[in-house]
Homo-oligomer: A and B are copies of this chain.
Amino acid sequence: MGLFLFLGMPSLKETLCKNVEMNNEVLRDFMSYWHPLEITKGEFISEAGKVENYFYYVEKGVLRAYFIKDGQDRSVGFTYDGDYSGAYDSFLTRKPSLFYLEALTDCKLYRISKSDLELMYDKHKDVERWGRLFNQEILFKKGFHEINVLSYTAEERFERLLRESPHMIQLVPQKHLASYLGMSAETFSRLRKKTKL
Q: Which residues of A are at the interface with B, using a C-beta cutoff of 8 A?
A: 67, 69, 74, 76, 88-89, 92-93, 98, 121, 125, 128-129, 131-132, 135-136, 138-140, 142-143, 145-147, 149-151, 182
A90, chain B: closest CB distance, angstroms: 11
B74–A151 CB distance below 8 A: yes
A177, chain B: closest CB distance, angstroms: 14
Q: Which residues of B contact A131 (CB under 8 A)?
A: 132
Closest 5 CB pairs of A and B: A135-B135, A132-B132, A131-B132, A128-B128, A125-B125
Show 11 residue pairs from A and B whose CB-CB distance is below 8 angstroms, ordered by the A residue: A67-B151, A74-B150, A76-B146, A92-B136, A98-B147, A121-B129, A128-B128, A132-B135, A142-B142, A142-B143, A142-B146
A182–B135 CB distance below 8 A: no
Give Cα A182–Cα B142 distance, bound, in whole angstroms.
Answer: 17
Q: Tell which of B92, B135, B182 touches A150, judged by Cβ atoms closer than 8 Å.
A: B182
Give Cα A139–Cα B141 distance, bound, in whole angstroms.
Answer: 10
Closest chain B residue to A140 by CB distance? Answer: B89
